[in-house]
Amino acid sequence: MKVNLKTLAATLGLSQTTVSRALGGYSDVSATTRKRVTEAALRMGYQPDPLARRLATGRTDTVGMIFPFHATEFGDNRWGEVIAGLSEALGEHGMDLSIIPVLPEKELETYRRVIDGRRVDALIVSWTRVDDDRIKLLQKLGFPFLAYGRTTSRIPYPWFDFDNEAGAKAAVERLINFGHRRIGLIHAPLEYNFAAQRHAGFLAGLRAAGIELDETLVVASPLSRLSGYQAMVRLLDLPSPPTALLIDNNLVGIGALRAIGDRGMTPPGDISVIVYDGVSSDVPLPFSVTSVKQSTGAHSGRLLAGQVLAILAGKPVSEVQHLGQPVIMPGESDGPPAATLAPGQRSRKKTVG
């Protein structure tokens, strides 16, 4: 039989108001009474009515993520790991995660509807843009939020991000140290802040080595495997293709590597490749891929949850800003330019599966 508040209060000989406030941890109830009520609730298996609790506190115990839906974005299983870690960590604190997929052109409208309806206690803003109207709206309305990525907003706000510029620069420096000078870049649309930062890091790496940018070696690509394939074909068809390449996201990277394989080429003997975030383990390749690694799996999801909880607890913005540092994870997809290798060191022609 389910134990309700009335039964619990009657068993303890206390008023329902006292029991409710004791369970809520209110300081106007003595520590002794709070302890007595809590122990009895555990012993009797009491569970508070979530609807009644929400009406009393004004909270939904739900964190929302309004997701601009592109089916290709769910092709990256690491994103699923982030969501799983986030949901699990919130659940440990009695909170749920609500993902609301929307068409990109309906985003702001959906933000307003969710906020006006008080459907969630806080929002996580994903795929942040350099100039982000969603964050401007949330700041204007004073609604709790966490940005998964930074923007150029001058108003302080909570965010979780990685040093994308440093990661891209380190990748370029690695390729330069191998002896490459014709280094290409395939990047996501520069409206996304992560892409703009990685693009800046790529340019900074070239400048630091005194290498002049060849704009024909820099190709923009939408976030999909097909677009990555097409961008790679465009680079390989150049009269003088790059000898090395940085790809700024793993969705595009998978398509680009397939295009390389379909040309009968294999990294690193034919072309060196570094992929930001690497390639998912479920993608079969005959070589390991050198990557710029950052913690974007379940661990990041749990960190995001911790930051959201800190926001809801009223922590100052300066304490809810996290910048992770990426590292280069060496693989078998990069090395010296083919012209510097002895014939026996050059890769055999194999097709990427």
pLDDT in tens, 217-272: 999 999 899 999 999 999 999 999 999 999 999 999 999 999 999 999 999 999 99
Checking if the pLDDT of 348 tops 60, the result is no
Checking if the pLDDT of 278 tops 60, the result is yes
Closest to 154 measured CA to CA, from 173, 131, 176 = 131
- pLDDT tens digit sequence for 319-331: 999 999 999 999 9
Closest to 87 measured CA to CA, from 72, 75, 78, 97 = 97
| pLDDT value, residue 340 | 57
For 161, phi then psi, to 5°, come to -155, 175
SS3 100: strand
Query: Could you tell me the domains of the chain?
Result: 62-162+297-325 (3.40.50.2300), 164-293+328-345 (3.40.50.2300)
| pLDDT value, residue 262 | 95
- pLDDT tens digit sequence for 163-214: 999 999 999 999 999 999 999 999 999 999 999 999 999 999 999 999 999 9
As a whole number, the mean pLDDT across the chain is 88
Per DSSP, the residues of 102-156 read E-GGGHHHHHHHHHHTT--SEEEE-S-BSS-HHHHHHHHHT--EEEES--S-SS-
| pLDDT value, residue 203 | 98
Closest to 184 measured CA to CA, from 25, 337, 21 = 337
The full 3-state SS of 322-336, as one line of letters, equals: EEECCEEECCCCCCC
- pLDDT tens digit sequence for 22-69: 877 777 889 899 889 888 888 888 876 665 565 555 678 899 999 887
Query: Model pTM?
Result: 0.81
Checking if the pLDDT of 75 tops 60, the result is no
Checking if the pLDDT of 353 tops 50, the result is no
Mean pLDDT, residues 113-134: 94
Per DSSP, the residues of 239-255 read SS--SEEEESSHHHHHH
SS3 173: helix
- pLDDT tens digit sequence for 141-151: 999 999 999 99
| pLDDT value, residue 81 | 87
